[in-house]
Amino acid sequence: MKRVAVVGAGAMGSVYGALLSRVADVVLLDVNREHVEAIRRDGLALELPEGGAEVFEVSAASEPFGLGTFDLVLVFVKSYSTAEVAPLLRDLLGEGGFAMSLQNGMGNAEIVASVVGDERVICGTTTFGATYLGPGRVRLAGRGRTRFGPWSKGLSPSSLGWVEDLMREAGLEPEVVEDPRVLLWEKLFVNAAINPLTALLAVENGMVASEEHLRAVARSLVAEAVAVARAEGYHFDEERAFEEVLEVARRTGKNRSSMLQDVLFGRRTEIGAINGQVVERGSRVGVPTPVNAAVVELIRFVEKGYGRICLDLR
């Protein structure tokens, strides 16, 4: 049986760990000691979208010591913590093992690869939905797909066959792609438009599609991101990318973005891995990104506790 570690067992990490525990020996690793202790004591309770709940007996730890090595290490920490946990991965990975990032934003795979090597990194995206309910309790808010591929362009997707099989057996609907950077850009276009606008204005996702003023700003954010992607050699269609943003905003119309939730509860956001990556990469390739730069600075301001509005949304 394969051994799998999940580094960052928040909402999504717990969902993946629970489902994978059906087919693998899984250890959840998280700094939230209350969550870890509840899982150890009572198991991990997963509320299901079709109703009811299932309790999974899965190992959990708050320290990375004495856990042994793993065939697959899933990284689900917030993007701003990736550099902090990356050194742990070297010790957790067994011979021939892979580190897999399904995190938000861009830049995470590069950080992990700088520690364990390009050829040992898998990255991609997930469209599963998850909500952390409290210690030992998470909700599977919606089922989706897990799309991923090898970070090293010299590594064949076929070498990830066993990872794909494991994900399929766990019900995580895998799809292996040749270049996962395409997936990261596609998701970033959506997040770069919806997340900062909803967080700054304390509105639900649907407003980005329904309000002409927000649509105009969202279009500019996407246009800059697409221009940067093109400069890096990824030729996306700007109009199609923007239409996908609107479709996601409509489909999740009543949802609060993760960045809005972070702002409302005074937590640090992942702006640096989303719009911040557009700005940073644009600077490297000579593409101006003034609108993305503006929202980064505004979110940084809000993160300091200023300008928080509509707190009744709590």
Q: pLDDT of 104-143, one tens digit each? A: 999 999 999 999 999 999 999 999 888 899 999 999 988 8
Which tokens in the block code for residue 176? Answer: 């292996």
What Rg, from alpha-carbon coordinates, does the chain have?
19
Phi, psi (rounded to 5 degrees) for 244:
-65, -40
Same fold flag, 3-178 and 182-313: no
Q: Report the percent of the chain where pLDDT is more than 90.
A: 87
Give the whole-angstrom CA distance, residue 223 versus residue 227: 6
Q: What is the DSSP string of 113-160?
A: HHHH-GGGEEEEEE--EEEEEETTEEEEEE---EEEEESSTTS-GGGG
Question: In the chain, where are the structural domains located?
Answer: 3-178, 182-313
pLDDT over threshold 60, residue 301: yes
Give the whole-angstrom CA distance, residue 112 versus residue 99: 8
- CATH T-level assignment (fold) for domain 182-313: N-(1-d-carboxylethyl)-l-norvaline Dehydrogenase; domain 2 (1.10.1040)
pLDDT digits (tens, 9 = 90+) for 189-247: 999 999 999 999 999 999 999 999 999 999 999 999 999 999 999 999 999 999 999 99
pLDDT value, residue 196: 97
pLDDT value, residue 305: 83
Q: Which residues fall within 8 angstroms of residue 185, CB to CB, at 6 or more apart?
A: 106, 225, 229, 234, 236
What's the mean pLDDT when you consider all of the chain?
94
pLDDT digits (tens, 9 = 90+) for 84-96: 999 999 999 999 9
pLDDT value, residue 256: 85
Give the whole-angstrom CA distance, residue 11 versus residue 14: 5
pLDDT over threshold 70, residue 310: no
The 10 Å Cβ neighbour count of residue 170 is: 21
Amino acid letter, residue 209: A
Find the mean pLDDT for residues 93-106. Answer: 96
**Short-list 78, 77, 79, 53, CA closest to 64:** 77
pLDDT value, residue 314: 46
Give the whole-angstrom CA distance, residue 41 versus residue 296: 41
Q: pTM (2 decimals)?
A: 0.92
Find the mean pLDDT for residues 278-299. Answer: 98
pLDDT value, residue 189: 98
- pLDDT bucket at 308, cuts 50 / 70 / 90: low
pLDDT digits (tens, 9 = 90+) for 35-70: 999 999 999 999 998 889 999 999 999 999 999 999
Find the mean pLDDT for residues 276-296. Answer: 98
- pLDDT bucket at 261, cuts 50 / 70 / 90: confident
pLDDT value, residue 307: 60
pLDDT value, residue 258: 87
Give the whole-angstrom CA distance, residue 185 versus residue 193: 12
User: Which residues are the active-site residues?
Assistant: 187
CATH, domain 3-178, list 3.10.20.90, 3.30.420.40, 1.10.443.10, 3.40.50.720: 3.40.50.720
